[in-house]
Amino acid sequence: SAVGRGPEVPFRSEAYRISATARGKELRLTLSALDPAAAPAPQDLVFRFGMSGSFRLCPAADLPRHAHLRFLTRESPPRALCFVDPRRFGSWRLGDAWQPERGPCVVSEYQAFRENVLKNLDDRAFDKPICEALLNQKYFNGIGNYLRAEILYRSKIPPFEKARTVLEALKDQEQERRKKDPSLTLSKKVKLRQENPDLLELCHTVPMEVIMAEKQLFDPQHADNYAAFKNWLQCYLVPGMSSLRDHSGRTIWFQGEPGPMAPKGQRPRKTPHKTPHKKSPQLKADPEAPTLKVAPRAPKRRRRAAANPPKSEEMEEEKEEEADGPRKGRARGRRKATAAPALPEPEVPLSVRRSLRTSARRGKGAAPAV
């Protein structure tokens, strides 16, 4: 699109295929012509989705807003596979290389991901709270804000516990398990992990749950599917859970105590339970009740003028009082009133008295005696 920030894609072909490979939070598309002899070489694009990026297949005549890159089909009428990104945090770049600072994928490269974390626990990244370390894509490639809340909730780990403390304990448990029973078969190990998954295993299994149920959980076009995703969530945005902003400003949801490294000066906030709006009961008139006679109302314009003097006059009066000092004129007015004979005075609204005094100062006529 004309407003897209990504680079132009130097690939033109009448008939081509798109294939995709995912790794963590990145997706690589490969465009390859169906007739390699009469077409350009395959072209790779690597996408990052940001907070709102997604792909959508729709009629080419009815493109969604913010469709920044489009691949057209040859059918009639044609459709378009669009990269849609309303917030424009997403991006794409040419080539097949993954970002070098991203670690192994928590889903497709689980063993490499696990080893990469446990052998680098002396890194300063693990001096932070575990909830912040989980967003570090160098070690937890694929984990985002809602996933970290769900993982920590299931593992019963306070979000602001020190990351190194959590992971070193996990490393020690793994070594003890090997010493106790080195003859465990692979199937028994898998069964034990399914029954008592640790934090790193949950970093793999929780995203897998989402992937396996992707069609039901993630389809913004259907409200029922979004409701299924909300039902899947156990902690993130769930009523009754607590929330805090971490040191980088991201909100983490949790249950129980936040942990020793929680930001100072904050109090956990509870996610409120939404209650259905109840209409106020309508009172029915009693036919036997006596009727009351009500005095006729004053005209609307007159009531407004008495209760609310024009804004311009109020503003000018405030400016005058600021220029004259601390309400000297008002004090003089009160002294004169006390010298007069004591007569019962009717109550006059303050706004009316101010309006009358303003009119008197401007020479519009003396204020009437009250």
Q: Is the pLDDT at 121 greater than 50, yes or no?
A: yes
The answer to whether 92 and 6 have CB atoms below 8 angstroms apart is yes
Q: Quick one: pLDDT at residue 140?
A: 98
Q: For 100-122, what is the mean pLDDT?
A: 96
Q: Quick one: pLDDT at residue 188?
A: 59
Q: Is the pLDDT at 150 greater than 70, yes or no?
A: yes
The more confidently predicted of residues 368 and 194 is: 194
pLDDT grade, residue 12 (50/70/90)? confident
Q: Is the pLDDT at 299 greater than 70, yes or no?
A: no
In the CATH scheme, what is the code of domain 110-271? 1.10.8.50
Q: Quick one: pLDDT at residue 179?
A: 64
Q: Quick one: pLDDT at residue 5?
A: 81
Chain mean pLDDT for the chain: 78
Q: Quick one: pLDDT at residue 78?
A: 94
How distant, in Å, are the alpha carbons of 12, 69, 268 from that of 8? 11, 9, 46
Q: Rounded CA gap, 26 and 101, in Å?
A: 12
How distant, in Å, are the alpha carbons of 141, 256, 296, 309, 323 from that of 359? 72, 64, 29, 11, 18
Q: Quick one: pLDDT at residue 278?
A: 52
The more confidently predicted of residues 116 and 364 is: 116
Q: Rounded CA gap, 156 and 153, in Å?
A: 5
Q: Which of 169, 146, 145 is nearest to 157 (CA)?
A: 169
Q: Quick one: pLDDT at residue 276?
A: 53
Q: For 137-147, what is the mean pLDDT?
A: 96
Q: Is the dihedral of CA 110, 210, 221, 85 positive or negative?
A: negative
Q: For 282-310, what is the mean pLDDT?
A: 47
- Report domain extents, the chain: 16-94, 110-271
pLDDT grade, residue 288 (50/70/90)? very low
Summarised one tens digit per residue, pLDDT across range 206-215 is 999 988 877 6
Q: Rounded CA gap, 67 and 56, in Å?
A: 9
16-94 CATH pick, 3.10.620.30, 2.30.110.10, 3.30.450.40, 3.20.190.10: 3.20.190.10
Summarised one tens digit per residue, pLDDT across range 303-336 is 444 444 444 333 333 333 333 334 444 444 444 4
pLDDT grade, residue 43 (50/70/90)? very high
Q: Is the pLDDT at 343 greater than 50, yes or no?
A: no
Q: Quick one: pLDDT at residue 144?
A: 94
pLDDT grade, residue 227 (50/70/90)? confident
How distant, in Å, are the alpha carbons of 69, 82, 213, 334, 340 from that of 62? 14, 11, 28, 73, 81
Residue where the block lists tokens 């912040």: 132
Summarised one tens digit per residue, pLDDT across range 173-197 is 776 666 666 666 655 555 556 668 9
Q: Quick one: pLDDT at residue 242?
A: 96
Summarised one tens digit per residue, pLDDT across range 259-284 is 999 999 999 998 887 655 554 444 44
Looking at the chain, list the stretches that DSSP marks H as alpha helix, in order from N- to C-terminal side: 110-118, 130-133, 145-155, 163-180, 186-195, 199-212, 214-217, 223-232, 300-307, 311-324, 328-339, 350-361
Q: Rounded CA gap, 250 and 270, in Å?
A: 16
The answer to whether 80 and 57 have CB atoms below 8 angstroms apart is yes
The residue type at 284 = K
Q: Rounded CA gap, 154 and 201, in Å?
A: 11
